[in-house]
Every structure is written in C-alpha cells, then in structure tokens.
Chains A and B, each alone.
Chain A
Amino acid sequence: MVKSVKGKPIITLQDITFSYEIEPGWNETVLQGMNMEIEQGSFVAILGHNGSGKSTLAKLMNGLLLPHDGVVTVNGNDTSEQERLYEIRRTVGMVFQNPDNQIVGTSVEEDVAFGLENLGVEPTEMRNRIDEALRAVHMEAYAKQEPHRLSGGQKQRIAIAGVIAMRPSVIVLDEATAMLDPQGRREVCSLIKRLNRDEGITVVTITHFPEEALDADRVIVMQRGSVYLDGPPREIFSRTEELQSIGLDVPHAVRLRHHLVRDGVELPPILHQEELVEELCKLLLKT
C-alpha cells in the first residue's frame, strides 16, 4: 500500500539553526541542526505538538524565514538569494491555518488571481489558469462568489486553488485542516491526496490529526526543534508508546491494536481500520 518514495530531493535543509529574537539580545532557538530532504512527488506528513517548530520549518521552506545557520534549497536554489526568492515562492506554495486570513480577493476568482497577478501573468492566460484551478478543487460554480459566503472547507479549497494556479511543484499545508469541521477536513484531505497522486505535486502537510498522516509516504515527527522520528507511517505508528510518551496521539485503529496486544491478543502491526477489522476476523475464524 505504501508508495515507494520516488524522485530526487526538491527541498533540502542542511544543518538548519533558527531562532526568534524575542528582545534585542535575547533569542529563542527553535530549530537546532536540522537536516531534511523532501523528495519530488512524495507525500510527507509532519507531526509534532505545539511549539515544536513545525510552522517555523514550513516558513523556511519558501523563504518566508531565512535560517541563521545552514542552507535551505528549493530545486537547487538557495532561499537566501534574493533574486531567486519569487521563483522559490512560485515553486513552493503555502496554505495556512486560518482560512479567513489568507484570502485577499473580494471574490473567489479574484483571490485565485492574486498570485498570478503577482507573477505578471497575462490576463487571458490568467483566465484559463483560474478556471483550471477552480475545476481542480471543484469550486468552478463559485467563481463570482464573495469569500465570506463560503464554508471553512470551501475557503481552504480556494486557498489551494490560488496556490495551484501558480503551478507549483510543492504545496506546504501548515495545519490547513485545524480550523475545519469534519466535513471540511475530509474535503481538503481528499483534495490534497488527489493533487499528489494525479498531478504529481509534492505535498508537505503539517497536522495535528494522526489520521491525516495515514496515507502519507512518509511521516516526520518533530520534537523540540529537531526530527524525532522519520519513516513510513506503518513504521512510525508502530512505535505507539514512544509517540505517546512525547504527547502525541496515534490513529484510533493503531491505538486499539496496541491495547489489544497489551492484553494478550496476537495481532500484526496494522495502520488502517479496515486492516484491523480484517485481522480480527481472521483471528475469530482461527479460534
């Protein structure tokens, strides 16, 4: 089920150190000696509790923040090179947590146009790209709508449309589902999965919900500004106790299996609910 991780690295972080200046002369180090490579076409989920530096990491990936030490490259371009910055921001699109605070346009299509206008795309070409992007997120019927009339999930899909209209290679989502209801969360999750699978867009999604990491190729767990665990979800979530010890949750099925195994039921490692059901049925037939 797990896709093989393919392609060459598109984002690389080497020995990154980053700190925020709280007051002159007083810095709070958030990331320390971090190394990471994001492969082209992969679907990466980043977990970690509040304050572990996830958002900071995301902002380093498209040059919104620059590392104090170390190098971040996107497609081989160093994010600290000012003249490459806009190329980098086009390559790495970003979706933020609060749907209301990232919509600039007074209508859906104008918001999708915002990034294209910044790039200097011609109006006719812009028209095509907007229509295409809105179709991709299934929002073409809302082109003229005012954003405040949309649901949270729809707003996030518009934000994603605004990013994919710029034809990025990577989309970074910083807790883009955190403020949504379950319906909106499902919409956004299935959309980013589809973009990764069908369009080959690299997805880096930062999330609080372990369920959202199940379909990723790779899960990275952050703890106190460095990479704590890194691997395919099956491997990461099998370390249930380790995750729980740093205050992270695991998917429901994984937790249930963990409790069952502890109580003496023999079960192989599983990831999805369906797998657990299947294994339990097998067990039932055997006895």
Chain B
Amino acid sequence: MNFLQNFAIGQYVPRDSFVHRLDPRSKLLFLLFFTLLVFWANNWFSYGLLLCFLFMVTAASRIPGVYLLRGLKPVWFMLVITVILHLLITKGGAVYVQWGWFSIEQAGVQQAIYMAFRLGALVTMGALLTLTTTPMDLTDGLERLLAPLKRFNVPVHELALMLSIAMRFIPTLLEETDKIIKAQKARGVDFETGPLIQRAKHMIPIVIPLFVGAFRRAEELALAMEARGYRGGEGRTRLRQLHLSWRDTLLAGIAILLGVLMGWWRE
C-alpha cells in the first residue's frame, strides 16, 4: 500500500535475548529501582558500577548500539544545557578557567559529568525497556503492576485499554492524515512554502477532518465493543498471560547485588 505497510507501533526491536524474555513487570520494576540507584550514586565508584552494568545489559539485550543512540536523540539538547549550566553555575574546588567573573571550577565539572551521566543512563535504560518489550506487553505489565490501585478507585483497566486502543489506532490515523494531506494538495493547498502563519493556516483543513473522523471512529468503536459484550474490567479474562521465570528471579538477585555494592561504595 504505502509507507504504513512497514510502520511498526512503538520501537520494539524483535530479538531473542535474555532481556527480551524477561517479564515486563520485572523490567518495569527494575527500571524504577535503577532510577533510584542512579540518584543514590554519589561518587566515581558508584557511577562506574552503574555504567558497567548498563553496558552489560546492552550486551545481553543484543540491541545494536545505534538504536540506543537514536533513543538519546530527543534529549541531546537537554543534556548539553545541563552540562553548560553546571559548568557555569556550580562553584568549588580547584579553578580550571578564570576569565573575569566567569570561571569553570572542579565542582562544576564533576557535577556536569554526574548530571549528564544520570540523564543519559536513565534515558538509555528506558530505551532498552521499550526496545525489548512490545507495547502490548508494556501495557499489560503496567496494568498488572498498578492493579492494587484499583482499590483507591484508580481506573487502571480503563487506562490500560485506552493506551492499547490508542496504539491500535495510531497507524489508522496516520494513514488518514496522509490521505487528507494528499487530497488537500490535489486541490492546490501548498504546505511547504510561504510564511509560517500561512502554513499554519493550511494545517486547519487537515486537522479538522482528522478530528471529526476520529470522533466518528470512537463512536463506532464504542458501539462495536459493546456489541461484543464489553462491560468493563469486571470478570474479564485475558488471552495474554504473564509468567515469571528463572530469568526474573535472576534479575531480582542482580538487583539486590547491585543495591548492596552501591551501598558499600557510595560515600
């Protein structure tokens, strides 16, 4: 048909690896734990430990490094700003550069490196999660992890269903956008040139039919779901069952080890 034939929901990269086969719940919990560790680390030893671990996980996931770098792309800018701010603002220790009131000092350099590492490590770990887990597994894992919140009236099932329906409709809506753009172009609307305001105005005849279409779809989908006996999460079973395996036990062991080493090495 067109580019959508090859469009994949999410950024999952199918491989057969230890990390891929972990239960999504374990991966989500581990990501949370890793986040805590990253903020707990406070010296070269502890950061080095986490960095080594990050390399090990990447190797175990069999995900090519390019994918991880691509994952870092959206945060490059933030990374650079953080580094610059710390270099300029944080003072203390030996002075490396002095130029009028402007100076770069040892504490600044250290903080800049630490912060850059924190941000980079978190984004990389997050990317590893989405690269090794299908979106469906992720929503399933989230739904099950958050299940206890149902007692506090958090609509966990509904949120998870919403997420998975959104994913189901992303390609459909992209296809529709593509069609509308082509239709408007055929009528001579120019999206590429002209002043910004002009171009923004030209987006209106795309956005409006898209919204109208999306509402109609939503209505029809709701009807179809009702016709198939949907009545909320109560009494519902699931085709996809999540299973913990020895891998998840191993991950728990690794997490404990990591925690103990950190506690030992940090200051």
Say whether A120 faces chain B, with CB atoms less than 8 Å apart. yes
Chain A residues 96-149 with CB under 8 Å of chain B are 96, 98, 100-107, 109-110, 113-123, 126-127, 130, 146-149
Inter-chain contact B7/A86, CB cutoff 8 Å:
no
Inter-chain contact B227/A162, CB cutoff 8 Å:
no
Inter-chain contact A104/B239, CB cutoff 8 Å:
no
For B113, what are the chain A residues with a Cβ–Cβ distance below 8 Å? none
Could you tell me how many residues of chain A have their Cβ less than 8 Å away from some Cβ of chain B?
41
Cβ-neighbour of B228 out of A101, A114, A122 (below 8 A): A114
Cβ-neighbour of A96 out of B164, B224, B239, B240 (below 8 A): B224
Say whether B259 faces chain A, with CB atoms less than 8 Å apart. no
Inter-chain contact A166/B228, CB cutoff 8 Å:
yes
Cβ-neighbour of B229 out of A89, A113, A146 (below 8 A): A89
Say whether A90 faces chain B, with CB atoms less than 8 Å apart. yes
For A93, what are the chain B residues with a Cβ–Cβ distance below 8 Å? 227-228
Inter-chain contact A64/B223, CB cutoff 8 Å:
yes
Taking the closest CB of chain B, its distance from the CB of A82, in whole angstroms, is: 11
Residues of B bordering A, CB below 8 Å: 4-5, 7-9, 135-136, 164-165, 167-168, 171-172, 175, 216-217, 220-221, 223-231, 235-241
Taking the closest CB of chain A, its distance from the CB of B266, in whole angstroms, is: 42
Roughly how many angstroms separate A102 CA and B223 CA in the complex, as a whole number? Answer: 8
Inter-chain contact A147/B168, CB cutoff 8 Å:
yes
- A sample of 12 more A-B contacts (CB under 8 A), given A103-B168, A104-B168, A115-B229, is A59-B223, A86-B231, A90-B229, A101-B224, A104-B225, A110-B239, A114-B228, A116-B237, A118-B231, A118-B236, A163-B228, A166-B228
Inter-chain contact A96/B229, CB cutoff 8 Å:
no
Say whether A154 faces chain B, with CB atoms less than 8 Å apart. no
For A116, what are the chain B residues with a Cβ–Cβ distance below 8 Å? 237, 239
Q: List 11 A-B contacts (CB under 8 A).
A: A64-B227, A89-B229, A93-B227, A94-B227, A96-B224, A102-B220, A102-B224, A119-B229, A127-B239, A130-B239, A149-B5
CB contact under 8 A between A104 and B136, given known A120-B235, A123-B238, A126-B237: no
CB contact under 8 A between A115 and B136, given known A98-B220, A126-B237, A149-B5: no
Inter-chain contact A96/B223, CB cutoff 8 Å:
yes
From DSSP, what is the main secondary structure of chain B's interface residues? Answer: helix
For B135, what are the chain A residues with a Cβ–Cβ distance below 8 Å? 106
Taking the closest CB of chain A, its distance from the CB of B190, in whole angstroms, is: 29
For A86, what are the chain B residues with a Cβ–Cβ distance below 8 Å? 229, 231
Inter-chain contact A106/B229, CB cutoff 8 Å:
no
Roughly how many angstroms separate A107 CA and B9 CA in the complex, as a whole number? Answer: 11
Roughly how many angstroms separate A107 CA and B171 CA in the complex, as a whole number? Answer: 13
For B164, what are the chain A residues with a Cβ–Cβ distance below 8 Å? 106
Residue of A nearest to B7 (CB): A148
Inter-chain contact B217/A101, CB cutoff 8 Å:
yes
Say whether A62 faces chain B, with CB atoms less than 8 Å apart. yes
For B239, what are the chain A residues with a Cβ–Cβ distance below 8 Å? 109-110, 113, 116-117, 123, 126-127, 130
Inter-chain contact A146/B171, CB cutoff 8 Å:
yes
Roughly how many angstroms separate A89 CA and B9 CA in the complex, as a whole number? Answer: 31
For B226, what are the chain A residues with a Cβ–Cβ distance below 8 Å? 64, 89
Roughly how many angstroms separate A100 CA and B4 CA in the complex, as a whole number? Answer: 14
For B167, what are the chain A residues with a Cβ–Cβ distance below 8 Å? 106
Inter-chain contact B4/A148, CB cutoff 8 Å:
yes
Residue of A nearest to B229 (CB): A118
